[in-house]
Amino acid sequence: MSGEFFSAHFTTTDLPEPERLAAFHESMAGAMGPVDMEAIDDAPFHGTLRLSAVPGLGVVSIATTPKRVARQPASNETEESVILLRVRPASGTFRVTQRNREIYLGCGEAVVLRDNEPIDCANNTVCVDTLRLPRSVFDNFLADFDGAAGRVVPAGAPALSLLASYIENVHDELPRSPTLRHLMPIHVRDLMAVFMGATRDAEMQAMGRGVAAARLRAIKLEMARRLHHADLTAERVGRDHKVSARYVQKLFERDGTTFNNYLSGLRLEEARRRISNPELAHLPITEIVFDAGFNDLSTFYRLFRRRFDATPSDLRSASSTSAPPIAD
């Protein structure tokens, strides 16, 4: 894993059917190391793969039709690594074998595997995420690594749910966020340590760092999805995430803002985006304002002018004059 950041995206969509399996095999080997792969049935093969890697962490997301994969340890590996394999919700079942032990994963479940030992996997149609970290980052963090490896992590485990949310958009966000590239390996290690069985001191450290960061990230994602709801409050979000409203507020304070200011920023950007879109020029500005989640026009106009140094009408006029002419 050289350099600060590396990413790759491969899909068989545009390939002739006879070439797909071999091409995907080559892509898998580049992302995962030495692998043998075969299709399980005679249905046309299709697969997509996305890889994002930073020093200390690699994330590979794979979606395929049924296949079997056997992975061998790479001969040139100088450091033992740990692999977390998680089956995404609404996917099929997944079987993985290591140390002659068969492990069956359902939707949303995960398992920690040893990178320096053979792994055999088989699936029906499935989407999985694999995370690879150096084994050494867990030194002094786990009470019993051997007991954690090979044990199924339930989909409802709180730290696993937070990890799933944390990496949800990672392939799109890592290229444009140096801060995330720096912090993500630490946060992922913290979250994994919690559901793998962290020591008491390590768990306390993880709760105040990686778990808190993942919780804030999950809350921000939910706020972005629900910003149009006028009743979106810290109390409501806290109930949804099973934490207190005060804890939610503290997370934003640690991030240098407040819950209300962050939410207003999301709504202002949504309103700005729609107001400046010439294709939406027929919509009244007030309708856009209320659709963005604001319930007070005077507050919106004051915040909008402060943020963008222009009125909504000014922005709409400027956008309409700069829009390209419509072709005949």
- Number of other residues whose CB lies within 10 A of the CB of residue 226: 16
- Tell me the β-bridge partners of 87: 128
Structure tokens at 300: 């919106």
Domain assignments of the chain as residue spans, ordered by start? 6-226, 231-322
Q: Which of 122, 117, 118, 119 is nearest to 105 (CA)?
A: 122
Look at residue 17 in the predicted model and tell me its pLDDT: 93
Measured distance CA(141)–CA(122) in Å, rounded:
31
How high is the mean pLDDT in each 10-residue block of the chain (328 residues)?
Answer: 77 95 92 88 91 96 91 78 90 87 94 94 87 95 93 96 94 93 96 96 96 96 93 94 96 97 98 95 95 94 96 91 54
Look at residue 297 in the predicted model and tell me its pLDDT: 95
| Residues contacting 289, CB < 8 A, separation 6+ | 271, 297, 300, 312
Cite the beta strand spans of 28-177 per DSSP E.
Answer: 35-39, 47-54, 57-64, 67-71, 81-87, 94-98, 101-105, 110-114, 119-123, 126-134, 152-153
Look at residue 2 in the predicted model and tell me its pLDDT: 41
Look at residue 230 in the predicted model and tell me its pLDDT: 82
CATH number of 6-226: 2.60.120.10
Measured distance CA(169)–CA(221) in Å, rounded:
10
What is the assigned CATH class of domain 231-322?
mainly alpha
Strand, helix or coil for residue 144 = coil
Count Cα atoms within 13 angstroms, Cβ side, for 111: 21
Look at residue 327 in the predicted model and tell me its pLDDT: 47
| Residues contacting 42, CB < 8 A, separation 6+ | none
- Which residue type is seen at 15? L
Q: For the sheet containing 110-114, what is the strand order?
A: 6-11, 47-54, 57-64, 126-134, 81-87, 110-114, 152-153
Structure tokens at 149: 């490896």
